[in-house]
Structure 1
Amino acid sequence: MRLENTGIDDVMIDVKPLDHLTGMHAFIRAENWDYERVTYDYRIDSNEKNITYYIRVQGYAVEGDVDRGNAVIKLLTPLLGKHYYPHGVEYGEEENFPANLVERANNLVTKLAEEIKQH
């Protein structure tokens, strides 16, 4: 599910402060990058059996190189996904997400966007 109107879409920021700010908000990049793209995930555990939710913030380098740490990243529309063990994460609009989860996800991404815009 796309998280629209969070204020993060199309924001441009250097990768180093982006790594720092996302880390402060518990979004993890880990190994989710290549030379031109980055992906940050926020994990939300669920009481549902074998279900975990993820908020995903993605971006791509408009200049520079992620590996070298000199990239300028343009952020994309964040996603809310549901991980079905052992099959993987689904981000489709046909997924059903609890309203309180969608609200929480929107709030988390909006707070992150506000801090990113200050840099």
Structure 2
Amino acid sequence: MKLENTGLEDVKIDLKPLDHVTAKHAFIRAGQWDYERVTYDYRMDSDEKNITYYIRVQGYAIEGDVDRGNAVIQLMTPLLGKHYYPHGVEYGEEENFPNDLVERAKNLISKLKTEIDQLKQ
């Protein structure tokens, strides 16, 4: 599910401060990158058997190179996904997401956006 109108999709930011602020908010990039793209995931455990939810923030380099650490990243619309063990994560609109989980995801993205905005000032 797309988390629309968060303002993140308008953000352009250098990779190093982006890595710092996302890590501070427990969004993990780990090995999820290539020379042109980055992906940050935030894991939200669930009481549902074999279900885990993820908030995914993705971006792509508009300048520089992710591998070299000199990229300027254009962020994209965040996603909320549901991981079905052992099959993988589904982000489709047909997925059922509890309202409290959606609100929690939006709140986490809002906090992330606020801190990113402070870096840009």
Q: Which range, TM-score by smaller chain?
A: over 0.9
How much has 1:10 moved relative to structure 2? Answer: 2.3
Q: For residue 16 of structure 2, what is the aligned residue in structure 1?
A: 16
How much has 1:101 moved relative to structure 2? Answer: 0.1
How much has 1:109 moved relative to structure 2? Answer: 0.4
CA contact (8 A) 1:54 1:83 kept: yes
- Give 1:81's aligned amino acid: G
1:46 aligns with 2:46: yes
How much has 1:92 moved relative to structure 2? Answer: 0.2
- Give 2:92's aligned amino acid: G
- Give 2:20's aligned amino acid: H
State how far apart, in whole Å, the 2-side matches of 1:87 and 1:10 are: 32
1:56 aligns with 2:56: yes
- Structure 2 counterparts to residues 93-112 of structure 1, below 5 A: 93-112=93-112
State how far apart, in whole Å, the 1-side matches of 2:28 and 2:79 are: 14
State how far apart, in whole Å, the 2-side matches of 1:16 and 1:45 are: 28
Deviations 1:21-58 (A, max 9, x none): 00000000000000000000000000100000000000
Q: Among the aligned pairs, what percent are the same residue?
A: 80
**Equivalences, count:** 119
Q: TM-score w.r.t. structure 2 length?
A: 0.97
Q: Write out the 4+ residue segments of structure 1 that deviate beyond 3 Å after TM superposition.
A: none
State how far apart, in whole Å, the 2-side matches of 1:107 and 1:54 are: 14
1:34 aligns with 2:47: no
How much has 1:7 moved relative to structure 2? Answer: 1.7
- Give 2:88's aligned amino acid: G
Q: Which runs of 5+ in 2 are unaligned?
A: none
State how far apart, in whole Å, the 2-side matches of 1:45 and 1:107 are: 16
Q: TM-score w.r.t. structure 1 length?
A: 0.99
Give the SS at the match of 2:94: coil
